[in-house]
Structure 1
Amino acid sequence: MSVIVEFSLSTEDFVFGSALETVEDMRIELEAIVPTGSRIVPYFWATGEDFEGFERHVLADPDIESITQLDRIDDTALYRTEWTRDVNGILYGLGETEAVVLESMTVRDGWHFRIRFPNHDLLGQFYNFCTEREISVHIDRSYTLTEASRAGRIFDLTPEQREAIVLAVQRGYYRVPRETDLTEIAAELGISQQAASKRVRRGADRVLRGALLDPGERF
């Protein structure tokens, strides 16, 4: 049975996260990790302003071979990175245990992860991987898919994304003509319009991919 684990990690224990550290005001969210042979290729979203400065900073790290901007929506861009060498860190451990990144983002003094493992054995394998390499992982909570909400279970929505999409549907955001806008949704949620836009957009993308695409087509 699949199990979802939420945990936090300091930047010092996350080699890839350290490479993304920058003086620029840039927010990072890991999108996926894709094994390619013996390498792990991370995909991530960056939200901020000075993308050119951010890219120069990342490329200055000796472990980063390339950084490619794949897509950009307003002040948010999707990137793919490649390493100059294999880094046997937490991303490698996640790739080895068939883990799926549901959510990963920068928080104060570190990173927050929400990861799905195919079963408890692979979760245990990942925990042993971190212990053997002295990677300090703080487990916030773990739960099975049957303990998650039905919508979150099917479409891998975060609670915040589900809340935003449900509210958007209830208020008529998707109707023609629209009966509300993101400003009103943001006000009701108590967040900024930008944050509401991201939750609605990314949540809707997960729902549509989960409902319409085959598993191999969803990334």
Structure 2
Amino acid sequence: MSLIAILDIAHPDLALTPTIRDCPEVSIEVVPHSTTDPETGLFFYLVEGADETFEDVLERDHTVTDWMLVDDLGSTRIYRFQHAEDTVLISPMTTELGGLLLNAESTERGWTNRLHLPDREALAELWDCCEERDISFELRRMFRQDEWTSETVPEVTDEQRAALVSAHEEGYFEEPRETSLEELADRLGISPTAVGGRIRRGTGKLVESTLREE
């Protein structure tokens, strides 16, 4: 039996933190199932809501030594980043403890991570590692997983859940709509682009986990 832990982390040298701070309207998510070469430190990210200034901000981000735009899908882009050697990363710590990083999405201060860990002891060791490095560590929730499956069941993040619930309560899904993305953005304190992205990704995960056939 293993443990699923969902936690928030923050640190000035955490990957892409300067960009997250300077581009609050942008949503950044680790690309699922992408591989990372430990020798090169290459990571792939899904970026939503970036404007023409985003790449200028990347150039000033001290956690990034090199970047490449892999694909531009309009409001969504895929980037490959190479991080500086002193960049703080949660994934190597998790791997050393026998765990896996299942999902990571940017927040206002840092990242929300969904981790697969062997047990509570591994979670406690991870907390100790973060405390030693002055990494802010806030456990949102955790639960047991009785068996391992190679297919990770998609789960909406807390941010996506908040956007979906607000949209439903305010009548965004009604016909005709009773609210707009702009009004939802004011309620949630984020940009309309970010709200739209969270609703779209959250809906996609719900469809994948409940309606798609095996």
Q: Give the TM-score taking structure 2 as reference length.
A: 0.64
How far is 1:201 from its partner?
A: 0.6
Instruction: Give the gaps of 5 or more residues in structure 2.
Output: 146-151
**Aligned pair in 2 of structure 1 residues 129, 159: CA closer, same or farther (>3 Å)?**
closer
Count of residues in Structure 1 that have an aligned counterpart in Structure 2: 195
3-state SS of 1:73 partner: coil
Alignment of 1:1-219 (within 5 A): 1-12=2-13, 14=14, 16-18=15-17, 20=19, 27-32=26-31, 34-38=34-38, 39=41, 41-45=43-47, 47-49=49-51, 50-57=53-60, 64-74=65-75, 76-83=76-83, 89-96=89-96, 97-105=99-107, 107=108, 110-120=109-119, 121-131=121-131, 134-144=133-143, 155-165=154-164, 167-168=167-168, 173=173, 179-181=175-177, 183-184=179-180, 187=183, 190-191=187-188, 193-211=192-210, 212=212
1:35/1:95 contact within 8 Å kept:
no
3-state SS of 1:207 partner: helix
Deviations 1:95-143 (A, max 9, x none): 54212224332x2xx41423232442442443344356x2423324332
The CA distance in 1 between the partners of 2:175 and 2:168, in whole Å, is: 10
How far is 1:36 from its partner?
A: 2.9
Q: Give the TM-score taking structure 1 as reference length.
A: 0.62
**Aligned pair in 2 of structure 1 residues 71, 124: CA closer, same or farther (>3 Å)?**
farther
**Aligned pair in 2 of structure 1 residues 171, 125: CA closer, same or farther (>3 Å)?**
same
Deviations 1:59-98 (A, max 9, x none): xx58523332423433x53322134769674342245421
Identical pairs, percent: 16
Q: Which stretch shows the higher mean deviation, 121-130 or 185-194?
A: 185-194
Instruction: Give the gaps of 5 or more residues in structure 1.
Output: 147-152, 215-219
The CA distance in 2 between the partners of 1:45 and 1:197, in whole Å, is: 13
The CA distance in 2 between the partners of 1:7 and 1:48, in whole Å, is: 23
Instruction: Name the structure with the higher helix share.
Output: 1
> Which structure exhibits the higher relative contact order, with contacts defined as CA atoms closer than 8 Å and separated by 6 or more residues?
2
2:17/2:110 contact within 8 Å kept:
no
1:104/1:113 contact within 8 Å kept:
yes
**Aligned pair in 2 of structure 1 residues 208, 138: CA closer, same or farther (>3 Å)?**
same
The CA distance in 1 between the partners of 2:178 and 2:64, in whole Å, is: 40
RMSD: 4.1
